Amino acid sequence: MLNRRMLLASIAGTGIGTALFQRSVVGAMVASNDVSVESIEQAEWITGVELSEDERNEILKSVSRTGDAMEKLRKVELSYNTPMAIQFAPTASTNQQLKLDRAAKTQQSVVVELPKTEEEIAFLPVHQLAWLIRTQKISSVELTNIYLRRLKKYGGMLRSVVTLTEELALRQAAKADSEIARGWYRGPLHGIPWGAKDLIAVEGYPTTWGLPQFKDRELEGTATVAARLEEAGAVLVAKLSLGAIAMGDKWFGGMTRSPWNPRIGSSGSSAGSASSVVAGLVGFALGSETLGSIISPSVRCGATALRPTFGRVSRDRCMPLCWSLDKIGPIARSMEDCALIFNAIHGGDGRDSTAGSYPFQWPSKRSLENLKVGYAKRRNAPDSERKDLMILKSMGCDLVELSLPRSLPFSAMFSIIDVEASTVFDTMIRENDMQGFNLWEKSFRAAQYVSAVDYVRVQRARSLLIEQFDEAIAEVDFIINMNDLVQTNFTGHPSVVMPIDYRDRDSVRTPTPVILSGHLNDDERLLAFADAFQANVSAHQEHPDLDGWLDLYNAEELDESEDAGNL
């Protein structure tokens, strides 16, 4: 028997009736468990649409033709790495390079004293760890073992670790030490331990996507971003947790916790990446974002992160959730760290057709003079009392009050994610194999009723949003704290996040974030500006005291709270 999706697509293809009528036919079919002239007539009665006998028969013929075609198509095996033949591009820019210069270096050659304790070492930012590694004040093997010990000690409490890659890590670290001893220094990531969100494939290790069904599944090949970090000399120490299928902070291992307050979740879906970085379990991590999954957990945990312009980083062999929205980006302890990591992973690879090779240089030589920054006034906080604006003024920036486009129905645009994601997981949906899907089950089932016409209409509205957003920010260089998470994800604009302060309540610290967004493909200048901004704060240098929480965890006295998180 034909399913509801086939029927709906067939009826829509005839052009007969309204959307309400078409869905009513589906409802009538479900009630009678068949498609017949009678079920079509029932839909006519529901909607007040009158069809001729010829039109009813045409619908039945169309259903049959489409059904036969779709049944044949379902027998064609489509892997998770098979993208759509159409792709989203937020900009028509053709300023790409045939060969990228990845010779990044830290901005200042400062002398870093080796801290006396492992904990102090673990919380150093990448650019300082790089100096210690390069000057052989500490070996990569020593640093890797520090992080492995911390992963084993705190990873269980935070539920941030899916798989330790200890054997691989020690092998890569020993290789890094040998190369550096011979005078072959690959750059600032050489010998630095990192963690991968567990939707990034690494050959020889499970890639679970947070689902119990894939707990032991190994995918063929290694993702481009992981391969590029290996080429830069970085050391993979762990696959880190994500909310199941990139939703929230709950996976088959439980709820990933915030290192500042492990009684609550770390938000999602790059839950383990943000939590592990802020807890000092890794030097840095990679996360992914479809609609908030880098920014949201970084806000909750107090991490520093970059969500790049759409199309700047390959998603090859990374779990597809939404081909026209997914982005991969770094989560670290400083903006300079994010720039160094981005320098290693950005650029086309011939595998992800959306990924382009645009210029990027670090340290940046782009001018940061005479900048204009857009902002929105707040009812409960005068401009003179806002720390973010005071810092901008001290930097010599001109503040420009502006508003962002909000006339389009963003709720309709969310269907882009539901439709594309339900296509990725279509086989599991049809087989009712949705254990551990979090809230996706309802969304995926509802997405079956979105017509192709509506999907294309939403994507066209998205093009309009990009035009409106570009027009809104045309006269400024950046915007700050403008609640633009939804807009910039749909438009593809880059954003960064960092902690600026903390709120203290009942002996619990909660990070207060700053979010800056910039123009399309202007990631370099955005990072340079954010780095200059971060030089005026110290919140990113603070770290949580985990041992007190660990005592509570070992005594089974930590509570969990529900947290939906982001995608």
Give the number of domains in the chain: 2
Question: What's the rounded Cα separation, in Å, for the pair 515 and 494?
Answer: 10
Q: What is the pLDDT of residue 48?
A: 63
Q: How many residues are present in the chain?
A: 567
State yes or no: is 197 an active-site residue.
yes
233 and 145 within one domain: yes
Nearest to 360 by CA among 376, 347, 348, 378: 347
**In 3D, which of 394, 318, 316, 397 has the Cα closest to residue 349?**
316
Tokens of 322: 């939404």
Is residue 261 assigned to a domain?
A: yes
Q: Please give the pLDDT value at position 79.
A: 84
Assess whether 269 carries a catalytic annotation: yes
Does position 561 have pLDDT exceeding 80, yes or no?
Answer: no
Q: Which tens digit of pLDDT belongs to each residue from 479-532?
A: 999 999 999 999 999 999 999 999 998 889 999 999 999 999 999 999 999 999
The answer to whether 188 and 105 are in contact (CB under 8 A) is yes
Nearest alpha carbon to residue 219 among 210, 209, 227, 229: 209
User: Tell me: the pLDDT tens digits for 31-59?
Assistant: 444 566 666 666 565 556 677 888 777 76
Please answer whether residues 104 and 343 qualify as being in contact, where contact means their C-beta atoms are separated by less than 8 angstroms. yes
The answer on 57 and 174 residing in a single domain is no
Alpha-carbon distances, residue 163 vs 147, 160, 221, 236, 240 (angstroms): 14, 10, 17, 11, 7
Residues paired with 193 in a beta bridge: 235
Q: DSSP secondary structure string, 106-147?
A: -SS----PPPSSHHHHHTS-HHHHHHHHHTTSS-HHHHHHHH
Catalytic, 75? Answer no
Please indicate, yes or no, whether residues 169 and 297 belong to a single structural domain of this protein.
yes
Q: pLDDT-based confidence at 80, cuts 50/70/90?
A: confident
Considering the candidates 24, 140, 160, 197, report the single residue annotated as catalytic.
197
Give the model's pLDDT for residue 29.
47
User: What residues make up the domain containing 283?
Assistant: 121-403+464-553
Report how far residue 4's alpha carbon sits from residue 66's, in angstroms, rounded to the nearest whole number: 12
CA 51 – CA 44 distance, rounded (Å): 7
Enter the pTM of the model. 0.89
What is d(CA 486, CA 328) in angstroms, rounded to the nearest whole number?
17
Q: Residue 159 falls within a domain, yes or no?
A: yes
Q: Does any domain span residue 516?
A: yes
Do 471 and 399 sit in the same domain of this protein? yes
**Cβ proximity of 105 and 134 under 8 Å:** no
Q: pLDDT at position 351, please?
A: 95
Distances (CA, A) of 457 to 83, 461, 550: 20, 6, 51
* 485 belongs to a structural domain: yes
Euclidean distance between CA atoms 354 and 327, whole angstroms: 10
The Cα–Cα gap between 97 and 123 comes to 36
Q: Over the stretch 153-193, which tens digit does the pLDDT of each residue have?
A: 999 999 999 999 999 999 999 999 999 999 999 999 999 99
Same domain? For 236 and 315 the reply is yes
Q: Which amino acid is at 433?
A: D
Tens of pLDDT along 429-475? 888 899 999 889 888 888 877 888 889 999 999 999 999 999 999 99
Q: Is residue 137 part of a domain?
A: yes
In this predicted structure, the answer to whether residue 300 has a pLDDT above a threshold of 70 is yes
Residue among 39, 258, 293, 324 flagged as catalytic: 293
Helix (H) or strand (E) holding 539: none
Rounded CA gap, 448 and 438, in Å?
18
Domain final position from 15, 45, 76: 76
Do 308 and 395 belong to one domain?
Answer: yes
Quote the pLDDT of residue 22.
52
Q: Tell me, what CATH number does 303's domain have? A: 3.90.1300.10
Nearest residue to 166 via CA among 186, 152, 180: 152
pLDDT score of 514: 98
**What is the tens place of the pLDDT at every residue in 102-152?**
888 888 767 789 999 999 999 999 999 999 999 999 999 999 999 999 999
- Candidates 251, 269, 243, 410; CA nearest to 329 is 269
Do 269 and 336 lie in a common domain? yes
Residues 72 and 129 reside in one and the same domain: no
- The mean per-residue pLDDT over the stretch 16-33 comes to 48
Q: What is the pLDDT of residues 97-116, one digit of tens each?
A: 878 888 888 887 677 899 99
pLDDT at 100: 87
Nearest-10 Cα torsion for 196, 200, 201, 205: 30
Dihedral angle over CA of 157, 163, 167, 170, nearest 10:
-60
Paired strand residues for 328: 288
To the nearest 10 degrees (0 to 180), the angle between helices 19-32 and 4-14 is 140
Picking from 346, 378, 375, 376, the residue whose alpha carbon sits closest to that of residue 362 is 346
Element (H, E) at 55: helix 53-74
Which pLDDT tens digit goes with each residue over 251-287? 999 999 999 999 999 999 999 999 999 999 999 999 9
CB-based contacts of 126: which residues, under 8 Å, 6+ apart? 188, 189, 192, 283, 284, 332, 333, 334, 336, 337, 340, 341
Based on the domain organization, do 338 and 236 belong to the same domain?
Answer: yes
Residues 314 and 375 in one domain: yes
Question: Are 251 and 398 contained in the same domain?
Answer: yes
Listed residues 46, 76, 106: the one ending a domain: 76
Based on the fold, state whether residues 185 and 36 are members of the same structural domain: no
Whether 30 has a pLDDT exceeding 50, the answer reads no
Q: What's residue 212's pLDDT? A: 97
Of the residues 76, 106, 129, which one is the last residue of a structural domain?
76
Write out pLDDT tens, residues 365-423. Answer: 999 999 999 999 999 999 999 999 999 999 999 999 999 999 999 889 999 999 999 99
Residue 451 lies in a domain: no
- pLDDT of the residue at 32: 42
H-helix segments, 448-534: 452-472, 485-491, 523-534
Q: Is 392 exposed, middle or buried (0-12, 13-18, 19+ CB in 10 A)?
A: buried
The residue whose two tokens read 């929230």 is 248
For residue 415, tell me if it sits in a domain: no
Is 285 within 8 Å of 255 (Cβ atoms)? no
269, 276, 298, 517: which one is catalytic?
269
Give the DSSP H or E segment for 399.
strand 398-401
Domain assignment of residue 447, yes or no: no
